[in-house]
Amino acid sequence: MRVPVAKGSIKERMELQVRNWLWFLGVAATVLVGAPAARADMICRSPGGIAGFSNEFAMGKRLVGRNTSEVDQLRIYLTTRDEKLYAHSNFVTDILIEDHDGHVERNTVPTKLLVESQVIDFPAVVKNVLGDESFTIGDFRKLAPNIVVYVDDAVSATRWRVLDYERAQVNLVTHDGLVLRTREFRFPGGDSERLINVGEFYARRSNYSEVRTSLAMLVSAELPVRVKILPLTTNVATWRELRANASSALVDEPLRSLEGIERELRRDPGAVVVVLGHFENGAFVLRDAAGRQVLSASLDALFATALEAGVGLIPLGCYTAARGRGGSATRFNTLNAAKRLGNAVKAKTYIDMFSSIGGDDLAFVFDPQMTVSMRTKVKQSVVFDGYATGSGSIARLAFIMGASAVPKAVMDSQIESEPVVAAPAPLPVRAGDSPTESKAETNSGCRADSGELWGMSGAAAIIGAATIARRRRKRAQQEDRW
């Protein structure tokens, strides 16, 4: 069992806390005085995009699709370079544009942003894309469920990983060209995690590369000879359902000790074992009719035993996935789970089994460790040569994961985009100061700073700033473990 070990000295931790608090105080002071909450390198409405960002322009244009002036059709692509946040939208702000010759025309080009400041959050990105200074936190929360966001996986390795998309429809754009839907789950204790939607189940972004390899193997991999279900419950209806529809996999005897469970795990090397029961405080817990605890089985201990025995462990308890493992990311009823397991044990492949377990009433999270029993039988070189690489691998993965795939030409930055050339600096006006803005000449790329981004103002913004600061601290603490 691995023991979480905190990294970094006390001095480093204190410096981190000081930096976070200084950052928060800066945000609070900014919104209190009513000044713009962030300085932007760029608010760009030039057809050529931002000079030097042609690859990001091409990817964004491909992802966000058709331009729109309807706020409920807003789509935004986010990526980073050199710690700068690039936002590419499909939204055309209804303003007048004046060029260097004095000609005024209505804007027809969607907004792009380039941001360096640490104090801007996703609601402020949306506000500036829309070009509406009166846009509030309340407006954002009403609009959020309609916003479609495409987030480059590279964002997760930068300070912009703490952006809070709230209820927006977030898609992860992976390094290998898949566009994956995501969903945010909230766990007991206030923690939350955004997981990748893989067909009928979910996976973690943090181990995406391993997930990708495992899923590639699962395309046609048959289940092992033995699938076992260990019910840690006294619910009569659950037992009746399992005996009726999953008897071939059921360990039909009461297990009342950790030793008994570990013995069952070791009995069938290469098997897949499902542990079903009530889960709390990191352990499966069983109580008798009087409410007395008769069993407590640590999930860490079970995983250690499963790994030692070469067994794929599937822990099905409420919120078993909250600790960075696989299992359920939601509450569920054991009777409903038993019905799903009845279909799962009849599956021919791993993919079919996981898809049978997952559903609307049980958000099942896939962990690559669950396939350890299969991987002990397959040479890794064959796996990579046969499934994880080759010209058709991305298309196969996209099909499995219910995802779309960005064409390889875009991923390799070979797609032809609108020309981005050096341009004279825009006229020095602030975006939003008047209904007329300046722009560079047609088909020229934005270069100089063309305005200041608006931040979210008022008490809600201060609360939001505190939330971001708290999220930054928690994320830093989590990254100091494991």
Spatial strand order in the sheet of 283-287: 279-280, 283-287, 293-298
H-run or E-run covering 393: helix 393-400
Rounded distance, CA 335 to CA 317, Å? 12
Question: CA-CA distances (angstroms) from residue 127 to 67, 138, 314, 341?
Answer: 17, 12, 43, 46
Condensed to tens digits (0 to 9), the pLDDT of residues 251-269 reads 988 888 888 899 999 998 8
pLDDT at position 273 is 92
Nearest to 168 by CA among 135, 121, 213: 121
- What is d(CA 276, CA 297) in angstroms, rounded to the nearest whole number? 12
Burial (0-12, 13-18, 19+ Cβ within 10 Å), 190: exposed
Name the burial class of residue 467, with classes exposed (0-12), middle (13-18) and buried (19+) by CB atoms within 10 angstroms of its CB.
middle
User: Where in the chain are the domains?
Assistant: 1-34+457-482, 37-177+417-456, 213-389
Confidence (pLDDT) at 372: 64
The DSSP code sequence of 1-37 is -PPP---S-HHHHHHHHHHHHHHHHHHHHHHHHT--S
Taking the C-alpha atoms of residue 390 and residue 423, their distance in angstroms, rounded to an integer, is: 42
| Pick from 367, 151, 138, 338: nearest CA to 233 | 338
| Nearest partner of 110 among 83, 124, 128, judged by Cα | 128
Question: What is the per-residue pLDDT for 94?
Answer: 83
Class of residue 272 by CB neighbours under 10 A (exposed 0-12, middle 13-18, buried 19+): buried
Amino acid at 433: D
Q: Domain 213-389: give its CATH code.
A: 3.40.50
Residue pair 86/410 in contact by the 8 Å Cβ criterion: no
pLDDT digits (tens, 9 = 90+) for 7-28: 445 555 565 565 556 555 554 5
pLDDT of residue 14: 61
Residue 371's Cα: distance from chain center in Å?
22
* DSSP letters for 242-253: HHHH-TTTB--S
Helices 393-400/208-218 angle, 10° precision: 90
The predicted pLDDT at position 85 comes to 93
> Is the distance from CB of 221 to CB of 386 less than 8 angstroms?
no
pLDDT of residue 193: 87
What pLDDT was estimated at residue 4? 38
Structure-token match 């397991």, residue found: 341
Contact in structure between 278 and 286 (CB atoms under 8 Å)? yes
- What span, in angstroms and rounded, lies between the C-alpha atoms of 456 and 167? 18
Q: State the number of CA atoms in the 13 A half-sphere of 383 facing the CB.
A: 18
CA–CA gap between residue 177 and residue 153 (Å, rounded): 10
Strand-pairing partners, residue 40, are: 115
Angle at alpha carbon of residue 20, lines to 16 and 22, rounded to 5°? 115
| Backbone phi, psi, residue 433, to 5° | -70, -30
pTM over 0.95: no
**What is the model's pLDDT at position 82?**
87
For the chain, residues with pLDDT lower than 50 are 1-8, 27, 29-40, 376-394, 407-444, 448-451, 458-463, 465, 476-482
The predicted pLDDT at position 66 comes to 93
